[in-house]
Structure 1
Amino acid sequence: MDQRKYNIYFHTHTISGIIIAALLYVIFFAGSFAFFKDSISAWQKAETHAKIIHADYNYLIDSLSKTTNLQGRDFDFYLLNSRQGAYINMSASKDTTISKPAAIKSKSKRRGQGDGAYFLYFFANKQPTTYAEGYDMGEFLYRLHFLAPLNQIPIRLGAPFGYLLAGIVSFLFLFALITGLLLHWDKIKANFFLFRPWSKWKTVWTDMHTVLGVIGFPFQLIFAVTGVILITNFALTTPFSHFLYDGKQEQLFEDLQYNRTIEVPYSYTSLDKDFDLNAFVSKWEQQWQGSPISRIHIRNFKDQNMQVVLEAKPNPSQRFAGSGFVKQNIATGEVLASKSPVEDANYVDGVRSLIYHLHFGDFGGTALRLVFFVLGLMGCAVIISGIMIWLVARNKNNIPLYKRRFNFWASNVFLSACLAMLPVTAFTFIMLKVLPEINQAAIYRVYFYSWLILSIYLIALRNPSKVNLHTLLLSGIFCLFVPLVNGFTTGLWWWKTWSSEANGIFLIDTIFLLLGAASIMAFWKVRKQAKSFQVLLGK
């Protein structure tokens, strides 16, 4: 490789990498835990799932009808992946001849209009709740991995600020990945497994950055590409909507099977028969074996023009790609349109399923998610080692003092904020079992305030070696306390969850036990064998 190409690759890799380092670490760290979103939710709520919970839609509708006139309303059920509940959007009635009661008391009406409502409903306790009240740690880490909390910032350039920032980070990550691979291409075979832990620190970090980066390259490339597509699809589709759809972006998203427009005129004639939603759903679930229902849309409830649309997706372990739906007129029983989730899979299904399943790792069970979890943490190690390489390479006497100070403080802030995430996450898990009430506000307060306090403390140390030691010790203590606190507060000890096949709770306890043991071992090794590492300390 000639020197000009090498310099281009090197500077592109370095600049793109250091700009996104801290945010990319947050995305990788939170995303790694987000693979176990449902298990984290079960751990927090002490749900063993020993009994199969059947969705009773009729009970929900009957309960709503006691306080609200449901005539002429539209319903949208968005079922959770765990099948334990659903987000439900209930519109205002289209019937202008009936008196409208007071709206359902809900703090969240972001999709409801008039006396409509939007709420979360769990089939086990059969109680509606708002999104904020039903918020859990699994949802928090999942949304943190695409920076959703930053959507509170009132900046919108075609998308909420957090989503836009996550898309930009993913896009720059592509540059860092590709240029990094090109930098090491000539020696990729000779140095593939080269790791020299007893050499000087710069060599250790360089080997860690190179080896883990090259080994994890396919995984990281998949996540960069799929992340860009999932989070910034509005930017990718806008040119197509203008040139191919005359600016009708809703039609484009419908053709891509993201949205489904269901417009049914209201007849002002009551339905002359009862409707059993449980039986209706059960019938199609039996017909589509292995393809659970993911969404239910009801239009013009109890009207003669009432229509119901079911959407289903095949189990990825049985069929990788596919999606199905059925649209039926309830009064006549006529099936107006249908598509089998298995037999009628098309090109769009294949592309969408490929992107979705590769990003979320839901097609290989717990074993694959564990592999993705480890690869995600390897990505975190690559980022940390990259920051250290960048710092050491610029901590030289021939570099002006003001630049060295800036480089040190930038690296110090990045390292402190990144390494604080593991002890803060474990601490928040512990607090979930201690606090009397858990909701979105409580999780935000515990996580972000403790993250801020610990980050400031670590930054004040002004020493990367001490930052590393302190975070390893805190991580070890808090991670080991997670299963202990869970056992004391719920009685679901590690061996009990194993014997009762409460796999979600057992998995989370095991992960934190292993992380705690690894952190304590690393702390002992680093404290005993680590060489001193000197950097600019405000000289």
Structure 2
Amino acid sequence: MKAATIRRFQTVHTWTGLLAGFALFVAFYAGALTVFHDEIAAWQNPPWRAAPDARVSVNALIESLLAHHPETRDDFGIVLPGGGNGAPYAFWQGRDGARFATASQMGAPASDAGSGSLADFVYALHDSLGLPVVGLYLMGIVSVLYGLALVSGFLIHLPQLLGDLFALRAGRNLKRLWQDAHNAIGVLSLPFHVIFALTGAIFCLFAATLLALNTVSFDGKLSGLFAQAVATAPATKANGTTSVMLSPDQLIARARVAALVKGVSSFDPDYLHFVHYGDRNAVAEVRGLSQHTLGTYGTVALSARDGGVLAAHVGNGQDANGISWSALYALHFGSFGGNTVRWLYFVLGLAGAFLFYSGNLLWVESRRKRRHADQPLRTRVMARATVGVCIGTCLGISGAFGAALACAHSGIDAAMVQRATCYGLFFIACAWAFARPAARAATELLGATAVLTIAVAVADLLANASHWMQPWTPATRAVLAVDLTGIALGLVFARLARAALRRGRDGDPNSVWALPAPIASPTD
């Protein structure tokens, strides 16, 4: 490859990485935690702190929904408890948009689901930076830039691919060490990053793509065609004859049997969708998760009156649409291979966050003046922005965990508190990074993140001390795993704070990461 071509790809790689890097750091760090979405939800609401709505049966919830909102009879859904949901809740489309309600919220349904859920908040940070609608499309654009950075980076390192894979040259040249670590992580995790970039762009820009195709190629008919293509059950009309419905438990049992016939032995339902409830032609769709298969999600459509199977899009019964969408989801979130794959995705998420952090550091190191204490403004700004945004993200998410824990023990709705805490700490960290020298700010913010992360985990361990002596359940193990992982992450932050302090004291005095030299007293 010509030198000019390599330089061109280096420019593309650098600027796409810088433009998308901050957003991708947030997405990858929050995404690493989102891999254990259900465990975080169990940590926030373990069975011993369950809300009163968690004891309401699904059947009672349906009766309450129809009593308060009889107009929903023709089309509504029920999100089942478990899988991170402390209580079942109903979903339907009202006049003012989507509505969600647990049994106690039927009189005043919410416009968003799980507003107080810490796991859903972390997922929103991963999915859209916590910004509704706009953030989703922004992350779609970022995913496209991310893919461009991957392609250009691969072409840059293609000639020396094996050398970059195994080179990690420790020594006094810290820039070379950071470069080796950045290249090695990028090369080793390249297949996964291609998956993340592709699926992220599809998920975030899916609605915009459909809208464009609907206008350009389908003469405004794509919406109906798409709904028909992805539907599990055939379209039905109400018969007008009232009929008794099978209970949700009976429908779930019938759906599991239908899944077993299709070769799926671990069908775990998480959502029920009813059409024409109470009518002789009522249909119930049971959506569920299957383990150890790439087609993770599947749906079984049943007659809600007698449980007859109308369609079973699970296992070998899935069509091309179902298997494609389910596979994309499973590949993006690592839900296809049990805990081993989920831990692998967790590590890959943290490694991806490091990739973008180290990329910014390399940009700073490449543009600083080696023999001058006064560094260019652009390197100082980028160094402080990197510290503020990246470490501030970690500090803010740890703060959200602390806020959720405090709200759970005080009986306060965590929705606004955890959001305000996360964003508040993030902006404080950014302000702190620009108010202090970069090296000192990095050390202080990493130390604060370490202390806060460990403190939250230890506080929860102590608060649940009596429950560790009780017979263990999956929820008990999930809560303990989250606390132990929090302590481990806190120790990593503490180690990074120590490394930043050591480099500031003993590293190149002309670096932007050097601590300011102490001012000599007149007696010296």
TM-score, normalisation: structure 1: 0.81
- 1:30 matched residue in structure 2: 30
Q: 1:378-421: CA deviations, max 9, x gaps?
A: 1111111111111122223999x9x9313421332233111122
State the distance in 2 between where 1:202 and 1:150 align.
35
- 2:256 matched residue in structure 1: 285
Inter-CA distance 55–532: structure 2 relative to 1 (3 Å threshold): farther
| 2:272 is aligned with 1:271 | no
- 2:435 matched residue in structure 1: 460
- 1:527 matched residue in structure 2: 501
State the distance in 2 between where 1:181 and 1:454 align.
34
Q: Secondary structure at the match of 2:197?
A: helix
Q: Secondary structure at the match of 2:272?
A: strand
Task: Verify the 8 A CA contact 1:312 1:341 in the aligned structure 2.
Answer: no
- 1:409 matched residue in structure 2: 381
State the distance in 1 between where 2:56 and 2:218 align.
39
Matches within 5 A, 1:128-139: 130=110, 131=112, 134-139=115-120
State the distance in 1 between where 2:349 and 2:288 align.
27
Inter-CA distance 277–35: structure 2 relative to 1 (3 Å threshold): closer
- 2:125 matched residue in structure 1: 144
- 1:188 matched residue in structure 2: 161
- 1:156 matched residue in structure 2: none
Q: Secondary structure at the match of 2:78?
A: strand
Residues matched between the structures, number: 497
State the distance in 1 between where 2:311 and 2:381 align.
60
How far did residue 73 of structure 1 move?
Answer: 4.5
Inter-CA distance 80–387: structure 2 relative to 1 (3 Å threshold): farther
State the distance in 1 between where 2:392 and 2:129 align.
20
* Stretch moving more, 277-286 or 495-504: 495-504
State the distance in 1 between where 2:337 and 2:66 align.
42
| 2:347 is aligned with 1:358 | no
| 2:185 is aligned with 1:212 | yes
Q: 1:310-362: CA deviations, max 9, x gaps?
A: 143451315646633325373xx595832341232232233222211010111
Inter-CA distance 41–14: structure 2 relative to 1 (3 Å threshold): same
Q: 1:408-467: CA deviations, max 9, x gaps?
A: 21332233111122233223222322233133211111111121112211221132x223
Q: 1:475-512: CA deviations, max 9, x gaps?
A: 2212221221102333367x659955522112111111
- 2:90 matched residue in structure 1: 88
Q: 1:198-242: CA deviations, max 9, x gaps?
A: 222322221222122212222211111111111111344445445
1:440 is aligned with what amino acid?
A
TM-score, normalisation: structure 2: 0.83
Q: 1:229-260: CA deviations, max 9, x gaps?
A: 11111344445445653322213432552x67
Q: Secondary structure at the match of 1:376?
A: helix
Supply the RMSD in Å over aligned alpha carbons: 3.6
State the distance in 2 between where 1:460 and 1:277 align.
58
Match 1:111 to one of 97, 122, 125: 97
- 2:522 matched residue in structure 1: none
**Identity rate of aligned residues, in percent?**
20
Q: 1:91-149: CA deviations, max 9, x gaps?
A: 67xxxxxxxxxxxxxxxx8535xxxx532469xx9999744675211100101112252
Which ranges in structure 1 are unaligned for 5 or more consecutive residues? 93-108, 152-159
Q: Secondary structure at the match of 2:458?
A: helix
State the distance in 2 between where 1:526 and 1:492 align.
39
| 2:300 is aligned with 1:325 | yes
Task: Verify the 8 A CA contact 2:78 2:91 in the aligned structure 1.
Answer: yes
- 1:369 matched residue in structure 2: 342
2:2 is aligned with what amino acid?
D
Larger helix proportion of the pair:
2
State the distance in 2 between where 1:377 and 1:81 align.
27
State the distance in 2 between where 1:140 and 1:347 align.
32
- 2:5 matched residue in structure 1: 5
State the distance in 2 between where 1:263 and 1:184 align.
53
1:298 is aligned with what amino acid?
F
Match 2:274 to one of 290, 294, 298: 298
State the distance in 1 between where 2:340 and 2:108 align.
34
Inter-CA distance 427–357: structure 2 relative to 1 (3 Å threshold): same
| 2:468 is aligned with 1:487 | no
Inter-CA distance 128–70: structure 2 relative to 1 (3 Å threshold): same
* Stretch moving more, 436-445 or 57-66: 57-66
Q: Secondary structure at the match of 2:406?
A: coil
Matches within 5 A, 1:156-235: 160-235=133-208
Task: Verify the 8 A CA contact 1:48 1:504 in the aligned structure 2.
Answer: no
State the distance in 2 between where 1:440 and 1:230 align.
25
Q: Secondary structure at the match of 1:450?
A: helix
State the distance in 2 between where 1:17 and 1:180 align.
10
2:269 is aligned with what amino acid?
I
Task: Verify the 8 A CA contact 1:241 1:247 in the aligned structure 2.
Answer: yes
* Stretch moving more, 506-515 or 430-439: 430-439
State the distance in 2 between where 1:31 and 1:205 align.
23
Task: Verify the 8 A CA contact 1:35 1:373 in the aligned structure 2.
Answer: yes
Q: Secondary structure at the match of 2:130?
A: helix
How far did residue 49 of structure 1 move?
Answer: 11
* Stretch moving more, 170-179 or 283-292: 283-292
State the distance in 1 between where 2:319 and 2:72 align.
37
State the distance in 2 between where 1:91 and 1:187 align.
55
1:18 is aligned with what amino acid?
L
